[in-house]
Amino acid sequence: MQIGPKIDPAQLKFRIGPLVGWLIRITPTCRDIVRLISDDMDHPLPLGTRLKIRVHFLICKWCDRYRRQLLFMRNALRRHPDRLAGAEPPADSPGLSSDARERIKRTLQDRSE
Amino acid sequence: MPGRPRPSEAYVEPRRLSDPQTWADQHGDYLFRCAMLRVRDRELAEEVVQDTFLAALQARGRYAGQSSERSWLVGIMKHKIVDQFRKTCREQPVDDPDALGREMDNDGTFDEGGHWKLDQTAPLDWPDNPAGILERKQFWDILKHCLGELPPKMAQVFSLREVDELSTEEICEAMQISSANLWVLLHRARKHLRQCLEAKQFGRSPA
């Protein structure tokens, strides 16, 4: 676990080392936090757990980034649901086969009569 | 007569649906590609597209003209995809969802203490204004490629949740899995996609 690089690490260790050490001990590890960040996007977490995540962000900018990046992906997909399908079609499925297209046209014709 | 709006200004013609006979040509490829992203099987995807058109044919009296014809069809297809999952899950037992991508949890993202490896796996600082990225086709190609790397079931639940915005309850019901399993699948999918996107889009070579 490291702290943002702005302050001289040695000095920081001396000044708030005990506090950080204590925070590290009371918050879950990054491995657990990323799981909780994802869970938080799907169902409400207990207040205590949400607080632990917040406290963890104070001492870990990487988990904070992780959360913001997951939300970025979610917003990108939800705002542009069509872009993914409009992207490069995979070589093996460029579109409807001509058989399927004809079948669908015939079925639509039958049903609309 | 001044002051009185001409009929064309006062009354906006609601959008009308085009002839159903032209749907397959106009929207067939697009809907098929959307469906392939979810069901990942040519035949099933074709079935979904056909079911969508048939349902649309029946429901066309209820089309209010507020959305484009295509988004109206996409909305109908969302339900057809969920129906398709329901059917296939009944026909074939779901593989143990916990086994799906279990190896992804021990992929060396974290050290023994459960912390990021700072020079290898710790999330990079993505550019401040990634919104511009969304306009680039390359970004979507990469995202689609990354999604393709996931095990099929994991990619399916991810798309249902993050693209189609279904609730976790709806997904559990359609896919016949417990919510605990669903949360694990979603977590692994998000973790992998983030990592893949970072490697391919934001320039960190995969560890």
Instruction: Break chain B into its structural domains and give their ranges.
Output: 17-91, 102-201
Q: What value of ipTM does the predicted structure carry? A: 0.76
Strands (E), A1-113: none
CA distance A42 to A45: 9
Tell me if A106 is assigned to some domain. no
Q: What pLDDT sits at residue A97? A: 86
Q: Which chain B residues in 74-93 lie under 8 Å from chain A, judged by CB atoms?
A: 74
Per-chain mean pLDDT for chain A = 81
Are B158 and B186 within 8 A, CB to CB?
yes
> Which CATH fold would you assign to the domain B102-201?
Arc Repressor Mutant, subunit A (1.10.10)
Tell me if A22 is assigned to some domain. yes
Tell me if A31 is assigned to some domain. yes
The amino acid occupying position B187 is H
Instruction: State yes or no: pLDDT of A3 exceeds 90.
Output: no
CA distance A23 to A86: 46
CA distance B25 to B21: 8
DSSP state of B53: H
Q: What pLDDT sits at residue B118? A: 83
Sign of CA dihedral A11, A13, A16, A18: negative
Of B20, B36, B143, the CB nearest to A108: B20
Q: CB under 8 Å, gap of 24 or more: what pairs does B162-170 form?
A: B162/A73, B162/A74, B162/A77, B162/A78, B163/A77, B163/A78, B163/A81, B163/A84, B164/A81, B164/B78, B164/B81, B165/A78, B166/B78, B166/B82, B168/A42, B168/A43, B170/B82
A77 → chain B, closest CA residue: B163
Q: In tens digits, what is the pLDDT along chain B, a chain of 207 residues?
A: 455 555 545 565 667 888 888 898 989 988 998 888 888 788 999 999 999 999 999 988 888 888 889 889 988 998 898 888 888 766 655 555 555 555 556 678 888 888 898 888 889 888 766 668 888 888 888 998 999 899 888 988 999 899 888 899 989 988 888 899 999 999 999 999 999 999 988 875 444
Q: Indicate the range of A74-83, A86-95, B80-89, B123-132 predicted with least confidence.
A: A86-95
Question: Which tokens hold the place of B152?
Answer: 């099929």
Residue B96 has a CB neighbour count (10 Å cut-off) of 10
Chain A closest-CA separation from residue B53 CA (Å):
7
> Which CATH fold would you assign to the domain B17-91?
Rna Polymerase Sigma Factor; Chain: A (1.10.1740)
Show the domain range for A35: 1-85
Total domain count for chain A? 1
Q: Which of the residues B134, B171, B175 would you substitute to probe the A interface, choosing the one with the greatest number of A C-beta atoms within 10 Å? A: B134
B44 → chain A, closest CA residue: A100
